[in-house]
Structure 1
Amino acid sequence: MSRSGQVESALPAERPESGVFAACVEAAKPGITRLVTITALVGLLLAGLHRGDLTLADWFRLVVGVVIGTALAAGGANALNMWYESDRDARMRRTAGRPIPSARLSSGFVFFLGLGLVVSGTAVLWVLCGVIPALVALASAGSYIVLYTPLKPLTIWNTLVGAVPGALPTMIGTSAVSTAPGFEPLADPVGLALFSLMMVWQIPHFLAIAWMCRADYELGGFRMLPAIDPTGKLTAWIIVATSVLLIPVSASIVFIIPDLLGWATIIACVGLGLLLVAYGMRVAVHPTEKMARKAFIASIIHLPVLLMVMVGEALVRTIV
């Protein structure tokens, strides 16, 4: 297949939206921001239900703080990433329609928008949830911009580095509930379990995207694993291996909070994990963009369904 054919068959191009406000929302990458906010909220819910003594006022304050603060900080980090990569975005079909390459927003405007959102989100978390959640959000945004983004054109290891800021938001939620002194909330077992889940989940998810969009990434000058793996075999087997690893990693939280999670979560971890493994195996046998797309779709089904099962089982056990 030609390079243009590979690009055309990858992820759909981002379509420009009209209006300054719509462009600002687009700069914050609402899909990614939504996922990050949900993972932070799940951390809050599981840790809060496990603690068991939060009042209704506590719940309201913490939920508002975590949702608004995380969304603002994550959206700001995404906007700063878009500002940093605007020249490379202009080279790729999938991202050429983003606000800066399409001249709907200036580079300087997006920079200050992103900076303002990160500062605002951190402040909201600090006031409503405490200093540790605010620092975790700042660390997530900072590592995303200062470490992951500059590494993307330099090394194939950028995916592993980028998994850290992608996993940290779970600890925004868990640390918001903790009453431990100093930095001890960062060692909360629930937070560490969710952090590990997100770390591992991101590898098969983003490697599937990397294989689907390998020609586009090459045009943008990004160093993804397929750059040294033209057959796709290595990429596919890493997808399989990390999908297998995801099963015990995701199930580990059951043994940390057995009062809230049990067989429903274990079944979901195993069933959804095996689904991801199966699609990874299909990529290994037939390393085509079509198979990679199916593995990608399986990954975006896996995470929200698993998190919903966890929260649902925790709520049922708390109420019953």
Structure 2
Amino acid sequence: MKHLISHTSDQNDLLAKGLPAFKDLVALTKPKIGVMTLVVSLGSLALAPGSISFMYAAATLTGIILLVSGASSLNMYLERDIDGLMARTQDRPLPSGRVHPTWALLVGMACLLTGLQLLFTFGNPITLFLGVLAAFFYVLVYTPMKTASWWSLPVGAIPGAMPGLLGYSAVTGTLDGPAWVLFFVLWSWQIPHTLAIWVYRQKEYENAGYAILSSQASSETMVWAITGTSFAYILGTGLIWGVGFGGVIFALVNLLCGIWYMAVVTGVKEHKTLNQWARRVFLGTLVHQTVIFLVLALDVGLHAMLPG
């Protein structure tokens, strides 16, 4: 009887709120992540050897974006209570009360199913499988794992890096060495990036109930963890050129950017507090990845336009 009353009350609440504002429905899909996914998928699609028609490329990219948008909306639904405990997320549509949680489920499932249908129709078996795997890991493994273990970070970085494989496999239909290099770079970048956030937002994450490494490890351990994973990431970016992506321009810029970034990471003693250093590392990860991939795109594009 109580369940029936609760269900009826929930329905009445949904009807009372009416149709949400369009911008709130869009916000459920985390559009910033969608844009980043589009850029990465388009870039890996362009780097892959071979070609596909414009229609198939557009349909595949749309399917990937919808897949990511659907997974993000379902993530919003599952984390709506925790989001209300964090300053940076408490104004999202669900914790703020502007949108009923049912809308997140509807939007999430609609985007997810439509995305999978596009990949099934216009993609290939590998791209479809990777899409299903990415959605599964993000929604059903990574999301609940965030409050259980800090190992959610390397696990969650798997779907985070998947757009690189999705775009590449859409063209080749296979996953070769260069594809896995792209995946490793995208995966390894997320580790120091997120570790740095955990350091300077530690209290906020702890108050929300997230399991983060900085709550269990010493400051010295966090410095070593960020430095070591940053070095692995920089080595990975060198492999991009090693497998034949980009030319001399990219190799030079990548080398200089790598030296600059590692100088930022190893400059912990130059800052008054660990939080200041962590914030600078966080910004450094953003600048570094943006610059090297922009230069890579320009370098590849320039070589494509040159005769012979």
Give the whole-Å Cα distance in 1 for the aligned partners of 2:294 and 2:32: 17
CA RMSD of aligned residues (A): 1.9
Equivalence for 2:183: 195
- Contact kept, 8 Å, 1:73 with 1:121, in 2: the verdict is yes
Amino acid across the alignment from 1:35: M
Q: Is 1:216 paired with 2:217? A: no
Offset, 1:60: 1.2
Correspondence for 1:141: 135
Q: Which has the larger radius of gyration?
A: 2
Which runs of structure 2 are paired with 1:274-289 in the superposition (5 Å)? 274-283=259-268, 286=271, 287-289=273-275
- Higher mean alpha-carbon deviation, 248-257 vs 110-119, is at 248-257
1:48-63 paired onto structure 2 within 5 Å: 50-51=49-50, 54=51, 58-63=52-57
Q: Deviations over 1:234-271 (max 9, x none)?
A: 222211111111222112122222xx522222223322
1:20 & 1:133 partners in 2: Cα distance? 33
Tell me the amino acid that sits aligned with residue 193 of structure 1.
V
Which sections of structure 2, spanning at least 5 residues, go unmatched?
Answer: 1-19
**Is the contact between residue 265 and residue 281 of structure 2 (CA under 8 Å) also seen in structure 1?**
yes
In structure 2, distance between residues paired with 1:254 and 1:62: 28
- Give the equivalent residue in structure 1 for 2:293: 307
C-alpha deviation, 1:221, in angstroms: 0.1
Given the alignment of the two structures, is residue 64 of structure 1 paired with residue 50 of structure 2, yes or no? no
Q: What is aligned with 2:246?
A: 261
Question: Is the contact made by 1:77 and 1:118 (CA closer than 8 Å) also made in structure 2?
Answer: yes
Cα distance, 1:313 vs structure 2 = 1.2
Shift of 1:285: 6.0
Which string of whole-angstrom CA distances, capped at 9 and with x for unpartnered residues, describes residues 166-213 of structure 1? 11111111111115xxxxx1x322211100101111111111111121
Is the partner of 2:267 in helix, strand or coil? helix
* CA distance in 2 between partners of 1:203 and 1:285 (Å): 23
Residues 315 and 297 (structure 1), Cα distance of their counterparts in 2 relative to 1, 3 Å cut:
same
User: Hey, what's the Cα distance between the residues in 2 that align with 1:90 and 1:151?
Assistant: 18
Q: What is the CA deviation profile of residues 94-126 of structure 1, one whole-angstrom value per residue up to 9, with x for unaligned ones?
A: 111111111111112102211211111122222
Alignment map for 1:1-320 (pairs within 5 Å)? 20-47=21-48, 50-51=49-50, 54=51, 58-179=52-173, 185=174, 187-229=175-217, 231-257=218-244, 260-283=245-268, 286=271, 287-320=273-306
Q: 2:270 & 2:134 partners in 1: Cα distance?
A: 36
Structure number with the bigger relative contact order (C-alpha 8 A, sep ≥ 6) is 1
**Partner AA of 2:274 in structure 1:** T
Distance 1:35 1:283, change over 3 A: farther
1:252-293 alpha-carbon deviations (Å, 9 max, x no partner): 122222xx5222222233222223222222346645322222
Give the TM-score of the pair, scaled to structure 2. 0.87
Aligned length: 287
Sort the Cα spacing of 1:100 and 1:309 in 2 relative to 1 into closer, same or farther, 3 A.
same
8 Å contact kept, 2:74–2:104: yes
Quick check: 156-165 or 133-142, which moved more? Answer: 133-142
Contact 1:280 1:295 survives alignment (8 Å): yes
Deviations 1:74-100 (A, max 9, x none): 111111111111111111111111111
Q: Deviations over 1:113-167 (max 9, x none)?
A: 1121111112222222323212212211110111111111111111111111111
After TM superposition, the score normalised by the length of structure 1 is: 0.84
**Maintained 8 Å contact 2:61/2:167:** no
**3-state SS of the aligned residue for 1:105?**
coil
Contact kept, 8 Å, 1:233 with 1:284, in 2: the verdict is no
Quick one: distance in 1 between partners of 2:117 and 2:232? Answer: 36
Q: Which amino acid aligns with 1:262?
A: G
| Residue number in structure 2 paired with 1:4 | none
Q: Which amino acid is 1:21 matched to?
A: F
Q: Which consecutive unaligned segments of at least 5 residues does structure 1 have? A: 1-18, 180-184
> Counterpart of 1:168 in 2: which secondary structure?
helix
Is the partner of 2:266 in helix, strand or coil? helix
Q: Aligned AA for 1:135? A: F
Contact 1:123 1:134 survives alignment (8 Å): no
